[in-house]
Structure formats: C-alpha cells, structure tokens
Amino acid sequence: MTYEYIIAETRQNVGLIQINRPKVLNALSSGVMDELGVAIDSFESESSIGAIVITGNEKSFAAGADISQMKDNTFAEAFMGNFITSNWERVTVCRKPVIAAVAGFALGGGCELAMMCDFIVAGDNAKFGQPEINLGIIPGAGGSQRLTRAVGKSKSMDMCLTGRMMDAEEAERSGLVSRIYPAAELVDKVVEIAQEIAEKSQIAASMVTEVVDRAYESTLTEGVLFERRAFHALFATEDQKEGMAAFVEKRKANWKNR
Ligand code: DAK
C-alpha cells in the first residue's frame, strides 16, 4: 500500500508508522488520520505483527490537528458533521499494543494521539502541550480527560489553561511518558521495545492492554474483577501451558498465540 501522508513499514514483528508531513510539523489532516486508520487495520490483521509504533520525525511528532483545515468550520458543520470524530479514535480500539515514539512537538491533537496509544516513549527533546486555548478552543480529542488521568488535575489545568508545553523530563516525572531516549535514537529504541513485546504471547499482550485500559474506565472493584476474569480465561490458552512448561523446563517459550 502506498500512502501520501504517512510511511508504513515492517521491522521484524513490528509495524512502524511514521507521520510524514514535515513541512507543517506533521499537522494531522483528515488525510493523515484516514491513512493512519488504514495502516493500523493492515498491521492489526497481519498475524506476524505483534506490536505497532507510531512516530513522527525528530522535530515533531505532530503539532496538532491541521488548523488550516478547520479554521472556517461553523458550529453547525462541526456538530452535524461530527467533526473529525470518525477517523480519530481508531488507535484506541487497536487490539495490538501501540507505542507512541514522540520526539519534538506533540501538541493539541498530536498530544491526544500520543495519549490514545498504549504508552508513550519520549525523545529528550519532546514537548507536550494542549495549546488549543491560544486558538480560542479547547482540547477536542480527549486531551482534557486523558491528560488529567495521566498527570493529575493541577498540571492538566495548568497546561490546558496556559497552553504551556511540558518537556520530556517533566512528562516522565508526571507519568505521561514511560521512558526517555536521545531523540536521534528514539525510533530504534522504541522498535526494540515493541519487538520485545511482539515476542510475547499475543493473547496475553492483548489482554494486558484491555485490563490496564479498564483501570481508566471503571471502579477499582470492577477493574479487579475484570482482571480476574481475564486472568482465569488465560488458563484456557495453549500459551499459558507453554509459558509455564517452558519456565519449569528452563527453556524459551514457543508461543502459538492460541
Ligand atoms: N496546523 C497546520 N499547520 C501547522 C500546524 C497545525 N497544527 N502547526 C504548525 N503548522 C505549520 C505552520 O503554519 C508553518 O507552516 P508555513 O508557515 O511554513 O507554511 C509550519 O508548520 C512550521 O511552523 P512554524 O513556523 O510555526 O514553526 P515554529 O517552530 O516557529 O513553531 C509550533 C512551532 C509548534 C510552536 C507552532 O507551529 C505552533 O504553535 N503550531 C500550532 C500548535 C497548535 O496550536 N496545535 C493545536 C491545534 S488544535 C478532534 C480531534 C483533534 C482535535 C480537535 C478535535 N476531534 C476528534 C473532535 C485537535 C485540535 C488541535 O490540535
């Protein structure tokens, strides 16, 4: 498949998607989001792919939704057309683990897209922000909700009200990102992490993403019950038998994803 706004490639068992509109700092046009959805569909349905990485370039992951594309919208058009909703949330329902590799700007919709991924690894030059207030709007793709859950009310209010950017160190300190690497090495390092995940049982990995996500969506009691049921269910898989047999026999597990 040839894309116009992204580059999609396979590295071992990892699907790597690079947003590719460098002239506009990877602003997320409808074209980008449509193609991102197609690439995720394709990697999700390819059985050899065990994890997906979404990245931009060293200067910008994505500087937000494309402002020039939305500037003339009216309320009626945005509301009745359910403006940019249809193609924005594909990543949140991907069954395979998705990692955002963020170097440079992750602003507005860019920060929101990164937060929709299962986790974020940052380049040391990363800058996260929800600067929509400077455009007379507010976050519209979950920024006020996911950022608040990630970093807490005070920092989220601060960022959404002032539009200030958070650097990689602050983002790691606040729990928004899991690790930081030098920007120049970021993609290779994140692909290594993704490959490490891709070598696990795909069933267990997919269950991990579901149960961790449930922590955002439910009470503790319901979340723990959901986890318990998923945990019990894994005893019905060949991979559980293989994983535990391999441990006892002191050998590497040979996952079947069954
Ligand atoms: N859209 C369009 N073009 C953009 C852009 C954007 N978001 N960000 C940058 N560009 C373009 C600039 O216009 C410029 O183009 P030319 O002038 O060269 O043609 C080029 O990228 C380089 O940018 P700068 O010259 O500004 O570069 P600087 O290094 O000086 O500044 C910057 C970098 C990132 C600080 C600055 O470009 C900037 O402030 N950009 C805008 C950031 C921003 O406000 N982002 C939030 C946009 S609103 C929703 C889904 C998503 C959303 C809402 C709803 N639903 C699902 C309902 C999301 C909304 C947003 O993201």
The answer, yes or no, to whether any atom of ligand 1 lies below 6 A from the CB of 83, is yes
Q: Which pLDDT does position 246 carry in this prediction?
A: 98
Q: Is the pLDDT of residue 233 over 90?
A: yes
Task: List strand residue ranges (DSSP E) for 60-132, in order.
Answer: 60-62, 98-102, 105-107, 119-123, 127-129
Amino acid, single-letter form, for residue 129:
G
Using 50, 70 and 90 to split pLDDT, how confident is the model at 15?
Answer: very high
Cβ–Cβ under 8 Å, residues 104 and 142: no
What value does the mean pLDDT take over residues 239-256?
97
Atom of ligand 1 nearest to the CA of 131: 44
Atom of ligand 1 nearest to the CA of 66: 1
% the chain with pLDDT above 70: 100
Q: Which pLDDT does position 86 carry in this prediction?
A: 74
Residue nearest to atom 36 of ligand 1 (CA): 63
Using 50, 70 and 90 to split pLDDT, how confident is the model at 228?
Answer: very high
Task: Tell which one of 20, 21, 23, 24 to mutate to probe ligand 1, the residue whose CB is within 8 A of the most ligand atoms.
Answer: 24
Q: Which pLDDT does position 140 carry in this prediction?
A: 94
State in Å: Cα 164 to ligand 1 middle: 14
pLDDT tens digits, 31-89: 999 999 999 999 999 999 999 999 999 999 999 999 998 899 898 988 887 777 778 99
The answer, yes or no, to whether any atom of ligand 1 lies below 6 A from the CB of 107, is yes
Q: Which pLDDT does position 87 carry in this prediction?
A: 86
| Residue 179, CA distances (Å) to 97, 126, 173, 197, 252 in order | 16, 12, 10, 15, 27
Using 50, 70 and 90 to split pLDDT, how confident is the model at 1?
Answer: confident
Task: Tell which one of 19, 25, 59 to mutate to probe ligand 1, the residue whose CB is within 8 A of the most ligand atoms.
Answer: 25
Residue nearest to atom 22 of ligand 1 (CA): 24
Sign for the CA dihedral angle at 93, 97, 101, 102 comes to: positive
The answer, yes or no, to whether any atom of ligand 1 lies below 6 A from the CB of 114, is no
The answer, yes or no, to whether any atom of ligand 1 lies below 6 A from the CB of 123, is no
pLDDT tens digits, 177-222: 999 999 999 999 999 999 999 999 999 999 999 999 999 889 999 9
pLDDT tens digits, 125-157: 999 999 999 999 999 999 999 999 999 999 999
Greater pLDDT, 70 or 97: 97
Q: Which stretch of DSSP H or E encloses residue 225?
A: helix 220-234
Beta bridge partners of 15: 10, 52
This prediction has a pTM of 0.96
State in Å: Cα 109 to ligand 1 middle: 9
The answer, yes or no, to whether any atom of ligand 1 lies below 6 A from the CB of 64, is yes
State in Å: Cα 174 to ligand 1 middle: 24
State in Å: Cα 65 to ligand 1 middle: 7
Active site (catalytic) residues: 65, 109, 112, 132
